[in-house]
């Protein structure tokens, strides 16, 4: 019986519904289930991949657009129910499922992952990481999960309790698990992990409780940490963190005032769900969150822009080192939180093609 059932959130009428678009490719790829790699992600619109949804927003540029056209505004009214599956919870299930080689992978509350046959709806397996029910209280917005990631036959779960978990896409067997934030501190994970050329990138939440936000990257094969990037500075007397963000913290430190690391118990800025990747530039774009506490006057004595709150921060995908930033809301006195999806595109502006990042926080 699923952990969700044990918690007494039985049988809602919520259903997982598939239409013809998800059933178009029912044959597994030669590489096995979820054989996602750099080639398939770079060629998402190729005939062999166009029916898949291999990442949280389908592609690394986060556009969430499928070029499939078999279902359109003229025939959509002819569609009917192919199958459904009860999600066995009354809570909101926010995740974007992955669809790869005819298999649909969905994550529900408390990070329970289920694989379904895309044609028939047959449940193939379920993995329950057994996240403690107390995390529904410790996380700001309940035990939600926004998505999972796939790479080289594995699925990746950013668990509410801070574990980054890799499971086998064939049977849901756990392969490795790494703790991404310090235990006993006010962090949580509700956002979807992303995999960029073999590195799993994950953020966290907790600014509303006084944590210091950061983003980490992990080796997709063995779960070892590759780099760590802090979003806001801390006590300058403590010296550099010894992390990829050290040069960025030298920029951010002068924009804060007072003993904010004590008042805010961290400063906030947590990037809980906003990443994009440009493989040509080898840059990861991070959308950062609100400050802690919310009020700038208490947080920083009413002084300074408080970098890198509510910003887009670009870091090197290989090393995690700072490249550039744009702060969308200096001071961030209003809990606006710049953690909404970042969309990358090549746009012609004044007759010149430019790489742009679009963001609507």
- Length of the chain, please? 361
* Residue 225 CB partners (closer than 8 Å, separation 6+): 178, 216, 217, 218, 219
Q: By the 8 A CB rule, do 344 and 302 touch?
A: no
* Residue 76 CB partners (closer than 8 Å, separation 6+): none
Residue tagged active-site, from 305, 335, 346, 350? 335
Residue with tokens 């090549």: 346
Residue with tokens 């006590």: 235
Structure-token pair, residue 152: 């080289």
Told to judge if 69 belongs to the known catalytic residues of this protein, a careful annotator would answer no
> How far is Cα 252 from Cα 255, in angstroms, rounded to an integer?
6
Q: Considering only CA atoms, which of 349, 135, 321 is closest in space to residue 244?
A: 321
Q: By the 8 A CB rule, do 270 and 347 touch?
A: no
Distances (CA, A) of 271 to 30, 64, 230, 253, 328: 36, 20, 10, 19, 14
Catalytically annotated residues: 335
């Amino acid at each position: 019986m699923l952990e969700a059932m044990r918690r007494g959130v039985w049988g809602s009428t919520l259903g997982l519904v598939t239409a013809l678009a998800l059933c178009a490719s029912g044959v597994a790829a030669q590489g096995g289930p979820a054989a996602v790699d750099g080639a398939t992600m770079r060629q998402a619109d190729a005939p062999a991949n166009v029916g898949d949804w291999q990442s949280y927003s389908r592609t690394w540029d986060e556009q969430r657009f499928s070029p499939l056209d078999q279902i359109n505004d003229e025939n959509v009214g002819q569609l009917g129910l192919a199958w459904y599956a009860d999600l066995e919870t009354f809570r909101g299930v926010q995740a974007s499922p992955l669809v790869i080689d005819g298999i649909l992978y969905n994550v529900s509350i408390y990070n329970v992952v289920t694989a379904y046959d895309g044609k028939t709806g047959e449940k193939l397996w379920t993995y329950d990481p057994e996240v403690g029910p107390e995390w529904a209280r410790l996380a700001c917005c309940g035990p939600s999960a926004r998505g999972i990631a796939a790479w080289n036959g594995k699925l990746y779960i950013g668990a509410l309790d801070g574990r980054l978990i890799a499971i086998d896409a064939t049977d849901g067997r756990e392969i490795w698990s790494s703790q991404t934030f310090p235990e006993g501190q006010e962090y949580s994970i509700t956002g979807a992990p992303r995999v960029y050329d073999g590195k799993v990138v994950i953020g966290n939440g907790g600014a509303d409780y006084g944590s210091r936000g950061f983003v980490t990257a992990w080796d997709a094969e063995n779960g070892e940490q590759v780099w760590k990037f802090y979003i806001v500075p801390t006590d300058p007397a403590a010296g550099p963190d010894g992390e990829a963000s050290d040069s960025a913290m030298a920029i951010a430190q002068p924009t804060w005032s007072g003993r904010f690391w004590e008042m805010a118990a961290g400063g906030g800025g947590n990037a809980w769900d906003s990443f994009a990747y440009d493989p040509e530039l080898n840059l990861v774009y991070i959308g950062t969150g609100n400050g802690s506490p919310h009020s700038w006057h208490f947080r920083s004595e009413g002084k300074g822009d408080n970098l890198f709150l509510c910003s887009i921060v670009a870091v090197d995908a290989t090393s995690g080192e700072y490249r550039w930033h744009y702060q969308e809301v200096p001071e961030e006195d209003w809990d606006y939180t710049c953690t909404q999806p970042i969309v990358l595109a090549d746009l012609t502006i004044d007759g010149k093609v430019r790489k742009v990042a679009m963001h609507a926080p």
